[in-house]
Amino acid sequence: MTLFQERGYDKTTMRAIAKETGVSVGNAYYYFAGKEHLIQGFYDRIAAEHQVAVRDVLERESGLEARLAGVLHAWLDIAEPYHEFAAQFFKNAADPESPLSPFSPESEHAREAAIDVHREVLAGSKAKVPAELADVLPELMWLSQMGLVLYWIFDRSPDRERSRRLADRGARLTTRGVALARFRVLRPLVHEVHELFTDFLPGMAQTVTARKKPTK
C-alpha cells in the first residue's frame, strides 16, 4: 500500500510493485493479474477485519441505533490508517465502470461481506422488520455506509470527528426509517428507493441477482 500512497494508483506500476516486494515482474503477475487485484485484496482485508471488529458491539447491543452506530465507528477505526491512500485512488474508485468501484463485479466479495454485516445488525436488533424488507434494508444500509465513506475520504477535521458525527446521525436517521417501514403504506417507497439504486448502480443489480439465486 505504501507505493499507492506515495505515487497514487495511476502512477504505481506492477514493475514498481515487483521491485518493492523483491520479486520478478513475472512472479508478481503470477500472484496478481494486475494492480487492481491488489486493491481488491485490500478491500477484502478491510471487510474481514471489520467483521471481526463489530463482534463486540453486536453481542453487547440490541438497539438498532447503537448497533449500527457501533458498526460504522468500527469501520472508521479500521480505515483510518489508510485515509490518505483512499483519497489518492478515489477518482478511480468513483468510476462505476472501474474494477476498483465498490459497485463493480470485481468488488462483489467485499461488498457482500459488508452487506452481511448489516443483515446481522438488523437481525440481532429489537427492531421489527417486515419480512418483505429483510433483504432490501441491509442493502440500503450499506449504500448509506458508502455515503459515509465518501464523506470520510474528504474529511479533514481532527480525528475525522465530523465523519463520526455523521455516523451517529446516520444511524439515528436509519433507525427511524426502519421504524417507519413497519407501516405498510410506506413499504412501496422503500422498494422504489432500492430499485432506483439497483437500476443505476451496476453492482447493486448483480447483488440482487445473486441474492435471488436458489441455494443448493
Residue 206 has pLDDT above 60, yes or no: no
The hierarchical CATH code for the domain 36-212 is 1.10.357.10
DSSP 75: H
Which letter does DSSP use for residue 101 in this model? Answer: S
Which of 138, 1, 151 lies closest to 71 in space, CA to CA?
138
Query: What integer pLDDT is reported at residue 39 of this predicted model?
Result: 78
pLDDT per position as a tens digit, 51-89:
999 999 999 999 999 999 999 999 999 999 888 888 777
First to last CA, the chain: 39
Q: What percent of the chain has pLDDT over 70?
A: 77
Domain boundary assignment for the chain: 1-32, 36-212
Q: What is the pLDDT of residue 18?
A: 67
SS3 of 158-202: the string is HHHHHHHHHHHHHHHHHHHHHHHCCCHHHHHHHHHHHHHHHHHCH
pLDDT tens track for 161-183 = 999 999 999 999 999 999 998 88
CA nearest neighbour of 171 among 50, 51, 54, 71: 71
The average pLDDT across 135-155 equals 94
Domain 1-32 CATH superfamily: Homeodomain-like (1.10.10.60)
* Number of residues written out for the chain: 216
C-alpha to C-alpha distance for 144 and 169, rounded to whole angstroms: 12
> Which long-range CB contacts under 8 A does 185-191 form with residues at least 24 apart?
187/130, 187/132, 187/133, 190/133, 190/136, 190/137, 190/140, 191/133, 191/136
pLDDT for 33-46, tens place per residue?
Answer: 666 777 788 889 89
Residue 139 CA to residue 36 CA, distance in Å, equals 25
Highest mean pLDDT among 69-73, 77-81, 92-96, 185-189: 69-73
